[in-house]
Amino acid sequence: MVRKSCLISALTAILVFCLPEAAGRNPVAVYAPSFHTLQVTAADDDMAPAVIRLGSNDHIAISFDEIASESRYLRYELIHCDADWHPDRLMASEYLPDGFNEAPVDDYEYSRATTVHYVNYRITLPDDRMNPTLSGNYLVRVYDESEPDSTLLTAGFSIVEPLARIEANVTGRTDIDRNTAHQQLSLAVETVGSGVSSPATDLIVKIRQNNRTDNEVTLISPSSLRGPQAIYEHMPQLIFPGGKEYRRFETVNLRFPGRGVESYLYAHPFYHATLNPDVPRKDTPYSYDSTRQGRFRVRASATASPRTEADYVLTHFTLSMPEMMDADVYVEGDLTLRRFDQASRMVYNHAAGQYECTLLLKQGAYNYCYLAIPHGSTDALTGPVEGDSHATVNEYTVFVYHNPPGGRYQRLIGMATVTAGR
């Protein structure tokens, strides 16, 4: 029996979920409240999308912590998914050499010299146990050996066959405004030599802005064909609100408040970090800042091993503004796994006249922003709080899938990233 830290008693119970319903458009999710700081990155570049090339020496690194005093026996399985991150019809034997689809999470370390005890786990793929042979999207499901039907967390990554050539361009001169609030993409996809017989009907193109899944765009047909190229231009779906640069804060040194931090306080069992009060930026001019487009990096001063020596900090966000009666406000970024739930939802404090949210975060350098979701809608908007500008530095990632008629899975045949702004 695993002995959990007494800190877990303050958290809610584990969610048991049905995988096909839970995966959806955002494959990165935590379903057990004791687990934190889930990161899925390219092993050699944590700024790059979680994508590796088929048959290469590239690797994906999946890292996460459990707040606990002892480790437990965790296992994982690998599930091939379609372009929408739903499990497809393939058997494990069709994408894994030996068809054996489970392995222990045996790379773990205990925290050292921290006020909050945790265990850090790491999965690196591919390895000698799991080396996928097909391109596409893959979902990693982590579970406790004693409860194999209960999912603790999921992590998604993609394997690409770099067969399609993608040319992408982004501009502030859009079909609805000119150098004001929006950015518009245009794409050219060349599929010669990729096995695509009909680019007009057999391609699925997906575009993400800053790795957000809530406003992901799906294109199932081009606007035109130009020789060997499928052209996607002057399409309303490719017009994105510009937003503003992500906000930043750092909790690297718990003795001295860093960037964006107003004060620290230790109240057993946690350090508390109160961030500088935020205000809306929708009516303020655009200002450039060098950010990581919503990512974060675990860091701690005076240690070369932040993976196990960075502490956990209860981080308090405040947004001073009148209450929005027709919308909810959320903290968005990798720090909330890009999900809109009760953890990332801000609560309005009428006495203080501000929105508030508290997140348990590992020491590091973080990006975040505030998005509003109108009641009755699922669209997350930058405009109501952050405002929108055509000059904002945004990262757009393009995925091209081959979806042949009668095919049993969707190949990922191309991926490209283009940055708008500076």
pLDDT, one tens digit per residue, over 186-203 is: 999 999 999 999 999 999
- Nearest 5 degrees, angle CA 224-CA 226-CA 228? 120
pLDDT, greater one: 324 or 9: 324
Q: How confident is the model at residue 23 (pLDDT cuts 50, 70, 90)?
A: very low
Taking 50 as the threshold, does the pLDDT of residue 344 lie above it? yes
Q: What is the pLDDT of residue 238?
A: 98
Residue 295 has pLDDT above 90, yes or no: yes
Q: What is the pLDDT of residue 422?
A: 66
Q: Strand pairing of 239-241 and 182-190?
A: antiparallel
Q: What is the CATH number of domain 247-374?
A: 2.60.40
pLDDT at 25: 78
Across 119-134, average pLDDT: 96
**pTM of structure:** 0.93
Residue 231 reports pLDDT greater than 90: yes
Angle at alpha carbon of residue 334, lines to 319 and 293, rounded to 5°: 85
Residue 304 CA, distance from chain mean position: 25
The percent of residues in the chain predicted with pLDDT above 70, rounded, is 94
Q: How confident is the model at residue 308 (pLDDT cuts 50, 70, 90)?
A: very high
pLDDT band at 32 (very low <50, low <70, confident <90, very high): very high
Task: Calculate mean pLDDT across residues 199-225.
Answer: 97
Spatial contact of 317 and 332, defined as CB atoms under 8 Å apart? no
Question: What per-residue confidence (pLDDT) applies to 44?
Answer: 81
Mean pLDDT for the stretch of residues 340-357: 98
Residue-wise pLDDT for 55-105, tens only, equals 999 999 999 999 999 999 999 999 999 999 999 999 999 999 988 899 999
- pLDDT tens, position by position, 359-391: 999 999 999 999 999 999 999 999 999 999 999
Mean pLDDT of 384-405: 97
**Does residue 9 register a pLDDT over 50?**
no
Residue with tokens 């960037």: 259
| Residue 224: Cβ within 10 Å count | 12
Backbone torsions φ then ψ of 209, nearest 5 degrees: -100, 120
Report the candidate in 406, 409, 411 with the shortest Cα–Cα distance to residue 136: 411
Asked, colleague to colleague, whether 6-160 and 165-242+393-420 share their fold, the answer is yes
DSSP state of 14: P
Q: Which two tokens stand for residue 287?
A: 């200002």
What tokens were used for 202?
């057999």
- What's the confidence (pLDDT) of residue 21? 43
The residues spanned by each domain of the chain are 6-160, 165-242+393-420, 247-374
- Residue 421's pLDDT is 79
If we measure between CA atoms, which residue out of 371, 32, 19 comes closest to residue 212? 371
pLDDT of 10 strictly over 90 = no
CATH for 6-160, options being 3.30.70, 2.60.40, 3.40.30, 3.40.50? 2.60.40
Superfamily of domain 165-242+393-420: Immunoglobulins (2.60.40.10)
Q: What is the tens place of the pLDDT at every residue in 129-170? A: 999 999 999 999 999 999 999 999 999 999 999 999 999 999
Q: What pLDDT sits at residue 24?
A: 52
Q: Would the CA dihedral through 43, 49, 50, 54 be positive or negative?
A: negative
How many residues would you count in the chain? 422
